[in-house]
Structure 1
Amino acid sequence: MTQSLPDAPLPPPPTPTPTPAPVRESSAIARLSRSLRGLPPAERWWGPGCGGMAGWLQRSAGALPAEDLTPRFKALLARVREGEPVLPDAAKRHQYVLVRGMLGDELPGYLLDNVQRLEQRGLEVREASVDTEGLMADNVAVLREALLDAEHFGRSVVLVGHSKGGVECTATLALHPELRRVVRAVVTLQAPYGGSSIAHDLATAPEMRRLIDFAFPLLFHGVSRSVEELSYTSRMEFIRKHPYPDGVPTVSLATSRLSRLSSLYPLERYLHDRYGYASDGMVTALDAEVPGAGVVRLDDLDHADAALRALPGLGRYHPGDLTEAMVALALDAR
C-alpha cells in the first residue's frame, strides 16, 4: 500500500513586478535643490549689510552734482502721451543701441515696447548682443565692437541701457574714452551706477551667496560674479579706477516706489524697513544717478515698469513713453 503524503500548502503567487516609469530628466529646480541639500550649512550672517552705503558717490569729495531735469521730462512726457512729436529732426541721424539688464534674456517682452517705440519714430535701432547674466568685461567688449562698427559706417550712436545695461554703457566709455567720438548721448534707465543694494546683500550674505553661486549657472547659464560686480564694494573700486569721462551728454532715470501694487513690493519693503532706502525694488534712487549727468527723479515707478509693460491698473507709465521722453532729453543735452 502506498503511503499518502500530507497536503503541503502551495507557495504564494509571485508578486508582479511593476513596469518602471520612464526616466525623466530632472528639472533645473530639482537639480538646484539636490545641490543645495548636499552642501554644508552656510555660515549664519548677522552683518550690517549695506547700511549707510547708498548714495556714497554723491558724498564723495569732488563728486559732480547732477542737474535735475524732472520738470522738463514731465513736460515732454505729457506731450508724448498726447501723441505730439518731441524728438528733433536730427534724431534720425543716429543709431540707437539698446542694452538689456540682468536676466533680460529670460524675461519675455523685456525692452520690446522701448524698441518698438523708437522704431515707430523712424529711428534705426539695434539691441546689443550682450550676455545679460555675463561679466561686465565681456559685455563691454561687445559694446565696443558695436560702436566701432557704427563708426565704420559713419554713424553716431545713442546708447540706451536699462539697469545693468546702463552700467555697461557707462563702463564702455570709462574704459575706452576714445570712443566718445562715436557717442552722441547716453541714456541710463534705473542703472545701479553707484551699486545695487540687493546685489550687495546677495553677494555678501553667506546664505544668499551660496544660493546665487548655484542658481545662476544652473538656471540661467550665467556667472554669479556678475551679481557681485554690482555690489557697492565692486562699484566703488571700478569707479575710482575708471571714472566716467566728462563731456558725454548723459541723462539718468532714478526711481523709487513703495506700493503693494508693485510686483517688486517685497524688495521695496525690505530696503525701506531694513535700511530706510527709497528704491525701485532693485536700485536706490541715489545710486541710479550718474555724477554730472542730467537726472530725472520719479517716486512712483518700480524697476520692472521701465522695461516691461505693467498689467492694467498696476503701473503709471508706459516703457515706450519713458524711453521717447528720455531720448529727447538726451539729444537736447550738451
Structure 2
Amino acid sequence: MSKGRFAALIAAMALLAARAASAAPLLAGFYLPWDDTSQASLAAHAGALQVLAPMSAAVDSPQGHVRWQPDRALAALRAKSRPGSPKVFPVLSNAHDEIWDVAAAEAAMTNPAAGRALADQLVAKAAAEDYGGYVLDFENLTPKGLAAYAPFLARLHAALKPAGRELWVTATMGQDPAFIGSLAKATDAVVLMAYDQCWATSTPGPIAGDDWLAQTLDARLAVLDPTHTIVALGAYGYDWPQNPDGKGGVAKVVSVTEAEALARLNHAHVVRATPDGNPHFAYNGGDGKPHQVWWLDAAAFRAQRAAALARHVRGVAIWRLGLEDPALWTKPTAARPLRPGPAPAACAMAAH
C-alpha cells in the first residue's frame, strides 16, 4: 500500500471513530462545586463522563447579572485533562441564597437590556473557559415567565451558536408536553428530570418507580425528538419523618451510602417491588418519629438507564455526583428495558 493510500485509510478510520463516538449515548454528571462529596466523586469518575454539568451560575438581579460559583475541583481536573474532555456545560439557574429568584429570571427574559447583558456574560465566559455550552434551569416561574421562556431560550441559543456552543434546558416530567416541546424547539436538547415522583414535601414513596418512569418517558418522547433528549436519572435518597399526629414531615436528602448505612444500623428489612425497583424500608428514628427511607441504588440506575437508552435518547445524566451508589461505577450496565405496567400510585403533598 502506498503512503498516500495508507494516510487516507488512517484519516478515514479516524473520521469513522469520531462519528461513532458522537453517535454513542452520552453520560453527563451534575455536581455541586461547594460540596466535598460531590467534588470527590467528580475527581474519581470524570473520566467516565462525556459532559460535566456543575451548578456554577445564577442570575441574581433584574439587570441580568450572573453570579459565578468558585470551582477549584473543576479547575484542577481540567488542568490535568486534555482540552475538551469531558465537555463542561455549566448550569445557569435562578437559585441563590436559598431562594428561587423569579424576579431576576423573568426580568432577564422580558427586559431586552437585561437579556442582552445576561447573554453577553455567558458568551464571554464560555469563550474564556472553553465551555461546550450551558444548561438552563429556571424554576418557579409565573405564567408570564413561562410564556417568555422559549423565546428567551431561542435568543440565547442564537448568541451561542456561532461559536458552536450548545444550549440545553431542564424540564420536569410533570410539565405540560406542549410547553416542553416549545423549549425543545428553542434549544439543542431538553434534559428531562426523571425523578421526584415522590418529593421532599410529599407523602413517602418511590423517587422514580419502574412504571412511572416507563409511562412518563413514553408520553414525553411522543412529542420530543429522542436524539435531542437527555434523561436525568436520580441517584439519591429521601428520609421522610412522620409526625405523631400522622402528618408528614419534610424529607432529608440522603446519599445511597447513608441510606444503606441507616438500614444496617436499624436492622431494617429492605423491600423492593421488583428486582431493580426503588429499595425502601421503615425505622424508628432517634427523634422519636417513624421514618420511611426510599432511594435509587446502582441496580435501579442501571435498569433506568437501559430503559432510557432503549428509547434511543441522546444520553442520560446523573443527579447527582456525591450522592450516588459507588457500585454504579463498578458494575456492568443492565440491558433490561423497563416496560409500562399498571398505573403507578400517586404521591401527594404531605399534610403539615
TM-score of Structure 1 vs Structure 2, range by shorter chain: 0.3 to 0.5
Structure index of larger Rg: 1
If the length of structure 2 is used for normalisation, what is the TM-score? 0.34
Q: Which structure has greater strand proportion?
A: 2
- Greater relative contact order: 1 or 2 (C-alpha under 8 angstroms, separation 6 or more)? 1
